[in-house]
Amino acid sequence: MSLPKDFLWGGATAAHQFEGGYLEDGKGLCSGDVVTSGDGRNGIQRRVTYTLPDGEYGSQFVFPYQDLPQDTKLSCHEDEFYPTHEASDFYHHYKEDIALMAEMGFKCYRMSINWARILPHGDDEIPNEKGLEFYDRVFDECLKYHIEPVVTLLHFETPVSLINRYGAWIDRRCVDAFVKYCEFVMKRYQHKVKYWMTFNEINNMEILPLYAGGLLKNDDQSKATATYHQFIASAKVVKMAHEINPEMKVGMMIAYTAAYALTCHPRDELKLMKDNQIRHFYCDVQCRGHYPQYKLKEYQRNGIHLPVLEGDQQILKEGTVDYIGLSYYSSSCVSDDEKQETTSGNMTTSIINPYLKTSEWGWLVDPVGLRIALNQLYERYELPLFIVENGLGAIDHMENGQIHDTYRIEYLKEHIYEMKKAIEEDGVDLMGYTPWGCIDVISAGTGEMRKRYGFVYVDKDDSGNGTMKRYKKDSFYWYQKVIQSNGEEI
């Protein structure tokens, strides 16, 4: 058995973490632009910066998040450093970067369109032609090398203007604005882009409501409302995409993890069941087209009301997704015993699993968990899956222009091995595999540059110093062989 011939090997990035050019050619500010750097290994969290009605400037942690003061307007402040403003400067290096992807043999490139580059205020009547032209150039460059663009429509990049005027996704006007933005880009790029995803890691609304929904609040009602609006927006966009061009496929995207109970005590198992419900809820609605009973009951118990309008049920039903995109970095472990020691994970925490090692940032490394995760999702929804993020964030050392990242190769090798088992032995329908940050990007969680995932090293440090020169790591050549052999040689 071998992998399908059309398996989409590639890599992934997000606009705000990779592009830079944060105000170039008419782009507006997005939520990722108003977050400072942090230091993940020393526990210094990233902060969102804002201005108060009296002109005073303030800032607050994005994780853990708390309600921002009343009438706050998100803004940048001259004394702060915002790592995404320049990021890896793909805006000016896209030709070189896509050539490197082509050299590795990429079949696809997952990237996001930055909404505020197209509509600087999020809901402008006329799109910014210069922004549209930039993505035209990027897609043309990809297609030149037969690289299929895979586009996320919103990857932690809600326009700041919508946040400051409406509170973003808490307001139904954000749904209309998003659908309009998607209509502009889908009509424009329909012959260049076939694969789309609506919201990156939509389940991050639970813990990172600023990133996922541009929310200035962290209460359960606000998060439920914003999530509801994203579901409606996603369903409308799926339907619209099929009308614009039936060839286009639109997926959802979730941060997924295999979760284990720490013991076989029924209370730990119950905890696991609840934990899985939190995760599956987002897929349940987007794949099945309606809210699951366990969620409705929970809302009822907690006095949460959904802002349902007439016709919404039909919208959800008619807009179920074509595939599920998932990020998988680590598994997690749960226990009913709240005193258990925890470690960090992808925007979350987990109880320490005694059987697993952790990365330098404390994330549990679990390749077998990837096979379990793929099986869980495929059995439950019977939809094609797409691993659109996976990888090891690690510190790289450059010696004479070389980076010997054996640890990264090891991590990816083990994950690809389990991914192949899921396809070949378990029959999971997997569209492709795009490791995260294929060319080094700014970390979303910590804002660091030294937390690198790439096959290509970008010469830049955490304070923004460096030449921006690109260097091929050992993993670059290794991944090239993996793709060349369609996964036979790992």
Residues assigned a catalytic role: 201, 389
| Pair type for strands 259-261 and 332-334 | parallel
Residue 206 or 389: the one with the smaller Cβ distance to ligand BG6 is: 389
Binding region for ligand BG6 (CB under 6 A) out of 99-107, 128-136, 259-267, 442-450: 442-450
CA distances from 159 to 137, 138, 186, 306 (A): 22, 21, 18, 24
Q: Which of residues 449-478 bind ligand BG6 (CB under 6 A)?
A: 451
Please pick, from the candidates 3, 8, 14, 185, the single residue that binds ligand BG6 as defined by CB under 6 A: 14
Q: Does 88 bind ligand BG6 (CB under 6 A)?
A: no
- Give the Cβ contact number of residue 413 at 10 Å: 16
Task: Decide if 405 contacts 412 (C-beta within 8 A).
Answer: no
Q: Tell me which H or E stretch contains 343.
A: strand 342-345
Please pick, from the candidates 135, 281, 436, 476, the single residue that binds ligand BG6 as defined by CB under 6 A: 436
Residue of minimal Cβ distance to ligand BG6: 445
Task: Decide if 210 contacts 291 (C-beta within 8 A).
Answer: no
In angstroms, what is the minimal distance from the CB of 154 to ligand BG6?
11
Q: Does 393 bind ligand BG6 (CB under 6 A)?
A: yes
Q: Does 445 bind ligand BG6 (CB under 6 A)?
A: yes
Please pick, from the candidates 88, 161, 443, 475, the single residue that binds ligand BG6 as defined by CB under 6 A: 443
Q: Does 327 bind ligand BG6 (CB under 6 A)?
A: yes
Task: Decide if 282 contacts 343 (C-beta within 8 A).
Answer: no
Residue 201 or 418: the one with the smaller Cβ distance to ligand BG6 is: 201
CA distances from 340 to 260, 280, 329, 346 (A): 14, 24, 22, 19
Binding region for ligand BG6 (CB under 6 A) out of 56-64, 419-427, 440-448, 480-488: 440-448
330: left (phi over 0), alpha (psi -120 to 50) or beta: beta
In angstroms, what is the minimal distance from the CB of 270 to ligand BG6?
27
Residue 3 or 101: the one with the smaller Cβ distance to ligand BG6 is: 101
Binding region for ligand BG6 (CB under 6 A) out of 231-239, 352-360, 421-429, 441-449: 441-449
Query: What is the three-class DSSP state of 157?
Result: coil
Q: Which of residues 102-131 bind ligand BG6 (CB under 6 A)?
A: none
In angstroms, what is the minimal distance from the CB of 467 to ligand BG6?
22
In angstroms, what is the minimal distance from the CB of 194 to ligand BG6?
21
In angstroms, what is the minimal distance from the CB of 37 to ligand BG6?
12
Q: Does 206 bind ligand BG6 (CB under 6 A)?
A: no
Residue 250 or 347: the one with the smaller Cβ distance to ligand BG6 is: 347
Cβ-proximal residues to 249 (8 Å cutoff; 6+ apart), any chain: 194, 195, 196, 322, 323
Distance, CA of 182 to CA of 195 (rounded, Å): 13
Distance, CA of 119 to CA of 436 (rounded, Å): 26
Residue 202 or 315: the one with the smaller Cβ distance to ligand BG6 is: 202
Encoded tokens for 230: 């994203």
Residue 47 or 451: the one with the smaller Cβ distance to ligand BG6 is: 451
Query: What is the three-class DSSP state of 332?
Result: strand
Query: What is the three-class DSSP state of 143?
Result: helix
Q: Does 392 bind ligand BG6 (CB under 6 A)?
A: no
Q: Does 142 bind ligand BG6 (CB under 6 A)?
A: no
In angstroms, what is the minimal distance from the CB of 271 to ligand BG6?
23
Q: Does 389 bind ligand BG6 (CB under 6 A)?
A: yes
Encoded tokens for 309: 């309008």
Q: With contacts defined by CB under 6 A, how many residues of the chain interact with ligand BG6? A: 16
Q: Does 268 bind ligand BG6 (CB under 6 A)?
A: no
Question: Could you write out the three-class secondary structure of 67-110?
Answer: CCCCCCEECCCCCCCCHHHCCCCHHHHHHHHHHHHHHHCCCEEE
- Block residue for tokens 């210069």: 130
Encoded tokens for 220: 């359960």
Residue 335 or 346: the one with the smaller Cβ distance to ligand BG6 is: 346
Encoded tokens for 36: 């400072």
Residue 18 or 178: the one with the smaller Cβ distance to ligand BG6 is: 18
Residue 201 or 275: the one with the smaller Cβ distance to ligand BG6 is: 201
For residue 455, give the nearest of 148, 56, 209, 102 by alpha carbon. Answer: 102
Q: Which of residues 335-374 bind ligand BG6 (CB under 6 A)?
A: 346-347
Please pick, from the candidates 255, 259, 315, 412, the single residue that binds ligand BG6 as defined by CB under 6 A: 255
In angstroms, what is the minimal distance from the CB of 330 to ligand BG6?
11
In angstroms, what is the minimal distance from the CB of 447 to ligand BG6?
9
For residue 278, give the nearest of 301, 302, 294, 258 by alpha carbon. Answer: 294
Encoded tokens for 489: 């040689």
Q: Does 200 bind ligand BG6 (CB under 6 A)?
A: yes
Residue 347 or 431: the one with the smaller Cβ distance to ligand BG6 is: 347
What are the counts of helices (DSSP H) followed by strands (DSSP E) for the chain? 14, 21
- Give the Cβ contact number of residue 89 at 10 Å: 17
In angstroms, what is the minimal distance from the CB of 283 to ligand BG6?
16
Contact positions toward ligand BG6, by CB under 6 A? 14, 17, 200-201, 255, 327, 346-347, 389, 393, 436, 443-446, 451
